[in-house]
Amino acid sequence: MARILSIGSEFPTFDKKAVVSLEKGKEFSQVTNEDHKKLGKWMVMFWWPKDFTFVCPTEIAEFNNAYEEFVDRDTMLVGASTDNEFVHAAWRRDHNDLRNLKFPMLADTSKSLAEELGILEENEKIAYRVTYIVDPQGIIRWVSANDLNVGRNTKEVIRVLDGLQTDELCPCNWEKGQETLSA
């Protein structure tokens, strides 16, 4: 496996098609690495291995349930896999928990972004379950990677995002509203 792009690195340049709606004629849009930077927002990009699987929709639905929490934190939420935009759209239409997603489903069909991030599984050439938190300047501030069969914890992603946004020292198990540490 290639080395995973990590903390302190600039998030790679990308311009990918994404499913943003199920409304006829408005299903697809381009999403780029510049979108969140232009708005002065953070970005959380989470990757899943394959559409039409079992663990993936539980995570995607949970991120969707927490969507407003990301918005409240000036954060653009983007989901991604190496499936194409037509497969994403079909999955959204087919799966009750995915029909009303509020964030784009990025299609990295060429696998170029997953490869540049170093998150492409060697045998099947699918993405690992990796989550990135990227600051408004485009710098990776947090990375979490799970094996293919273990779902992630959305609450932990939000907790870490909160900590990063304080720009202060946050102790173990710190949560928003608690005291931070003095140097």
Active site residues: 56
What is d(CA 167, CA 55) in angstroms, rounded to the nearest whole number?
33
Q: How many CB atoms lie within 10 A of CB 116?
A: 16
Within 8 A by CB and 6+ apart from 17, the residues are 28, 29, 30, 31, 85, 106, 107, 109
- Separation CA 30–CA 14 (nearest Å): 10
Residue 178: CB atoms within 10 A of its CB come to 11
